[in-house]
Structure 1
């Protein structure tokens, strides 16, 4: 009798896995790509956490809107994988694709506005003004206006 119960439980568990497994294999993995709107040539970040509904990456994040595929260079707890990349200079809406190690694919949208990031080269050019210090440092650690102590009582 015990043998029949064990076999029945095993068959029931196998049936449940057969029903559940295909449903989980088709779900869209959770991952982040952002910011969603960038200027031309700016940096974008991708991240997935396998333990929090994401997946283990099967390769880099790819897109025609990326200057190069985003490689997974950041790792951490909960199966975290992350990486940085730069977007192209051509304005438009682009689709990025994440391929998971189990074969699932997921996409995210981002927009390149064409506005270049602010540059320090746009500042007015001219001679730099030299800054001269006021006063001279005094020996004895006079940083707070204190004089060395005298011990002649």
Structure 2
């Protein structure tokens, strides 16, 4: 079985979500189902059907998180000694050579990737181009609209 890399921060966030689902959301939906049942005929009881649907989504998410957590390898970049190289978990600032735009990304596992928070999957084209490189190196990222040239400005292990 292949284990998937995840940052400690990502694993902790999943554990918090799992605890909330089990300790808050699951009991609340059970109560909502019981209340809706009291309203009588279940065939035409929209509240009951909505609550049952929500219960199904909660249970599915619980199973999904438990499966993810059972198959991860937590990598704490603060405990590695990558000698200035870009590695999984590193926070990397790059400069788009054509536009002079600076971007900062944290390289994370697939399950925790979130572009809105500048967290990119280790399997993304830009992360794959950065892995193993150091500050000052130039990389080329193949993008749908053509290649993009970047210079690695800073590599942090935070």
Structure index of larger Rg: 1
TM class by smaller structure = under 0.3
Q: So what's the TM-score if we normalise by structure 2? A: 0.25
The structure with the greater share of residues assigned to helix is: 2
Q: So what's the TM-score if we normalise by structure 1? A: 0.26
